[in-house]
């Protein structure tokens, strides 16, 4: 994969003060718009493309911030971060998912040994992380997609917060239940990608990785019959199970994002632990037509290419198929968490990579 150019993502002052621009964790293209999210807030941001005479995107700006708490009830209210780690856009809906992870406190520079040991023994649960949100999109006055609380019988709705989260569904899962009490960066449950294909939602896990195999959870979600602003998990396939798991041989790497490409999913992979690389993209063919839980060997996941990574920075966290509509063919737009100083512009923007890839 070749980085062809960089485009600037320009954010408003409020997002820069919240450090959304340096904590990007999810991205999805939607026509002229780009949906992005950071993992330190409970908002989703909409940016609009600026193009040159050849139709190539040169920048995204004119940010509009959407507070999830304006659309759905958040378990811990609007002021606690949701650690949004994935976005999906399909059939007039926008989806956002939290990490569903526990957090072990970090050791801070200069702390005494005793305090450092206490922090390493402290595990925190933040309830807003355990949500999956669905938002109807309508065309706003500016002609661009806009999330709303309701559009006729289409309603914004949330899964989580009432004993019904994704991790609650996994409480007795033979593979994943043992990892529910483990913090994310210790190889515990850690959602880092979501994709929508047809009536299915695919959730990618950065962790756990099981003997080198990464995990994708497949869901069907519908509006709860007693509350239009709640979601419920519906049976997937035969047997009445409300989810299916798929295991992908990614060579010991976890999943950092999922991105639809026709009937396939592009899978962004990287270390499950607190490491810099390697970072790769592979293709999962035919994911839109799965009929049963899968165990997918490496030979059935053709490589798309390698992505750059830094030393303590430039962590690729989100990919989106970028179709600029100019006949040049699709590209991947890649956004980075903890961007290197060279990615930060004088105006407070962040540079994302536009990468060529083979279909």
Q: How confident is the model at residue 327 (pLDDT cuts 50, 70, 90)?
A: low
User: According to the model, what pLDDT value does residue 182 have?
Assistant: 96
Please tell me the distance from the alpha carbon of residue 74 to that of residue 130, in angstroms, as a whole number.
Answer: 10
- Specify the 3-state DSSP secondary structure of 214: strand
Burial of 340 (0-12, 13-18, 19+ CB in 10 A): middle
Please tell me the distance from the alpha carbon of residue 177 to that of residue 245, in angstroms, as a whole number.
Answer: 12
- Specify the 3-state DSSP secondary structure of 125: coil
User: Where along the chain do its domains lie?
Assistant: 3-356
Cα first-last separation, the chain: 12
Burial of 33 (0-12, 13-18, 19+ CB in 10 A): buried
Task: Considering only residues 163 and 329, tell me which one the structure prediction assigns the higher pLDDT.
Answer: 163
Share of the chain above pLDDT 70, in %: 99
| DSSP tag of 274 | S
Torsion of CA 101, 104, 107, 108, to 10 degrees: 50
Task: Considering only residues 246 and 323, tell me which one the structure prediction assigns the higher pLDDT.
Answer: 246
Residue 177 has pLDDT above 80, yes or no: yes
Q: How confident is the model at residue 96 (pLDDT cuts 50, 70, 90)?
A: very high
Instruction: Give domain 3-356's CATH architecture.
Output: 5 Propeller (2.115)
CB-based contact 27:35 (threshold 8 Å): yes
pTM for the model stands at: 0.95
| DSSP tag of 55 | S
CB-based contact 340:314 (threshold 8 Å): yes
The overall longest dimension of the chain from CA atoms, in Å, is 61
Burial of 229 (0-12, 13-18, 19+ CB in 10 A): middle
CB-based contact 203:186 (threshold 8 Å): no
């Amino acid at each position: 994969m070749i980085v062809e150019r960089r485009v600037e993502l320009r954010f408003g002052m409020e997002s820069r003060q919240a450090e959304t621009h340096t904590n990007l964790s999810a991205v999805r293209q939607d026509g002229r718009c780009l949906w992005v999210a950071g993992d330190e807030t409970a908002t989703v941001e909409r940016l609009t493309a600026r193009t040159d005479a050849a139709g190539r995107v040169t920048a995204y700006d004119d940010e509009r911030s959407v507070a999830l708490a304006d659309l759905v009830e958040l378990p811990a209210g609007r002021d606690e971060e949701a650690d949004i780690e994935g976005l999906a856009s399909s059939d007039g809906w926008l989806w956002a998912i939290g990490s569903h992870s526990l957090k072990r406190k970090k050791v801070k520079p200069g702390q005494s040994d005793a305090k450092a040991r206490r922090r390493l023994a402290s595990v925190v649960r933040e309830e807003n992380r355990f949500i999956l949100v669905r938002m109807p999109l309508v065309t706003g006055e500016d002609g661009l997609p806009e999330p709303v609380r309701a559009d006729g019988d289409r309603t914004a709705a949330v899964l989580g917060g009432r004993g019904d989260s994704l991790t609650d569904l996994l409480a007795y899962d033979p593979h994943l239940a043992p990892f529910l009490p483990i913090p994310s960066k210790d190889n515990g449950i850690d959602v880092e990608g979501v994709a929508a294909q047809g009536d299915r939602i695919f959730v990618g896990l950065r962790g756990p990785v099981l003997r080198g195999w990464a995990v994708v959870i497949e869901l069907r979600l519908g509006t709860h019959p007693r509350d239009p602003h709640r979601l419920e998990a519906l049976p997937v396939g035969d047997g009445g199970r409300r989810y299916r798991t798929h295991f992908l041989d990614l060579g010991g790497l976890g999943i950092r994002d999922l991105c639809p490409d026709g009937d396939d999913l592009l899978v962004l992979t990287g270390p499950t632990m607190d490491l810099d690389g390697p970072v790769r993209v592979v293709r999962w063919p035919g994911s839109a037509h799965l009929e049963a839980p899968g165990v997918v060997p490496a030979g059935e996941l053709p490589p798309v290419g390698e992505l750059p990574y830094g030393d303590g920075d430039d962590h690729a966290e989100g990919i989106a198929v970028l179709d600029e509509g100019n006949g040049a063919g699709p590209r991947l737009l890649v956004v980075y968490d903890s961007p290197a100083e060279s990615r930060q512009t004088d105006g407070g923007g962040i540079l994302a990579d536009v990468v060529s890839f083979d279909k």
